[in-house]
Amino acid sequence: TSADDRTIIFVLGGPGAGKGTQCAKIVKDFDFVHLSAGDLLREEQARADKSEVGQIIADCIRQGVIVPMHITIGLLETSMNRARQENGSRRFLIDGFPRAIDQALEFEQTVGKPSMVLFLDCSEEEMERRLLERGLTSGRTDDNPDSIRKRFRTFVETSMPVIHHYEAEKIVSSVGCLRPINDVYQDIRTLITDLII
Ligand code: UP5
Ligand code: MG
């Protein structure tokens, strides 16, 4: 299925960098489908609450570690195929995935290759500030100091190598995110316009 007419953008960045926020803005201006791997996992966990898979997802998210990739890739593939069948969607923002090199390679083999990797670059201090503030109302089981610390560790040790892998392929566009949401978005809008024209 890799040699097809889809455009895939991986939207990556640390916990709280602004991936979901920026994807929501992109889909207002461009014909992309936004698929957040974390949102899909949280939905699946709620749906399959009492099941073994539901328990695995809940535990991994609270511990800030990565859910076994066959679960996440299955959810992404199902959502992409459904969007394609129902709406003919061909452009996808994959938010918060891949988080490890093996996930990147598996997704490329079974689903497809990204045209661009959008890296939202933010300091840990600012990401922590955003997540703790969001944690006041988000209800997310991982928006607490202990889980946030573990998420940062996973990001540095396991997810940053994915960025470096795609830097070597020269498809990473980095955007500094220590700025207001709309300023960040202006840069992203230019990058996406350049990609799809
Ligand atoms: N905010 C955003 N931009 C701002 C700006 N420029 N200035 C000021 N404030 C800004 O934003 C976070 C908060 O910051 C919001 O309150 C926002 O208003 C504000 P958001 O857009 O939500 O940031 P995002 O990067 O999406 O943060 P999120 O917490 O979703 O990132 P994570 O990567 O931690 O979470 P995700 O949901 O992707 O994953 C959660 C867990 O799921 C992982 O830890 C892992 O256990 C599991 N997972 C997998 O196992 N595999 C996967 O493939 C994906 C997830
Ligand atoms: Mg998010």
Summarised one tens digit per residue, pLDDT across range 71-102 is 999 999 999 999 999 999 999 999 999 999 99
* Residue range 137-153: mean pLDDT, rounded: 97
User: How many percent of the chain have pLDDT more than 70?
Assistant: 98
The partner residues of 121 in beta bridges, in order of sequence, read: 176
Ligand 1 mean position to 28 CA, how many Å? 19
* Mean pLDDT, range 3-9, rounded to an integer: 86
Say yes or no: CB of residue 114 within 6 Å of ligand 1: no
Sketch the domain layout of the chain as residue ranges: 7-189
User: Chain-wide mean pLDDT for the chain?
Assistant: 97
* Residue 4, SS3 per DSSP: coil
Q: Which atom of ligand 1 is nearest to the CA of 138?
A: 16
Question: Is the CB of 60 inside a 6 Å radius of any atom of ligand 1?
Answer: yes
pTM of the model: 0.97
User: Are 18 and 120 contacting, i.e. CB atoms less than 8 angstroms apart?
Assistant: yes
The alpha carbon of 68 and the centre of ligand 1 are apart by a number of angstroms equal to 19
Give the residue from 99, 96, 127, 69 showing the smallest Cα distance to 9.
96
Q: What is the pLDDT of residues 48-69, one digit of tens each?
A: 989 999 999 999 999 999 999 9
Output the pLDDT for position 3.
52
pLDDT-derived band at 4 (thresholds 50, 70, 90) equals confident
Closest ligand 1 atom to Cα of 42: 42
Query: What is the rounded distance in angstroms from the CA atom of residue 10 to the CA atom of residue 112?
Result: 11
DSSP 5-67: S-EEEEEEESTTSSHHHHHHHHHHHSS-EEEEHHHHHHHHHHHTTTSHHHHHHHHHHHHT-PP
Which tokens belong to 122? Answer: 């933010």
State the Cα–Cα distance between residues 109 and 168, nearest whole angstrom: 18
CA of 119 to the centre of ligand 2 (A): 13
Is the CB–ligand 1 distance for residue 161 below 6 Å?
A: no
- Residue 2's pLDDT is 44
Contacts of 64 (CB under 8 A, 6+ apart): 15, 142, 147, 148, 149, 150, 151, 152, 153, 154
- ipTM confidence score: 0.99
Instruction: Tell how far the Cα of 20 is from the centroid of ligand 2, in angstroms.
Output: 4
Q: Which residues contact 122 (CB under 8 A, 6 or more apart)?
A: 13, 14, 16, 17, 18, 176, 177, 178
What superfamily in CATH does domain 7-189 come from? P-loop containing nucleotide triphosphate hydrolases (3.40.50.300)
The three-state secondary structure class of 134 is: helix
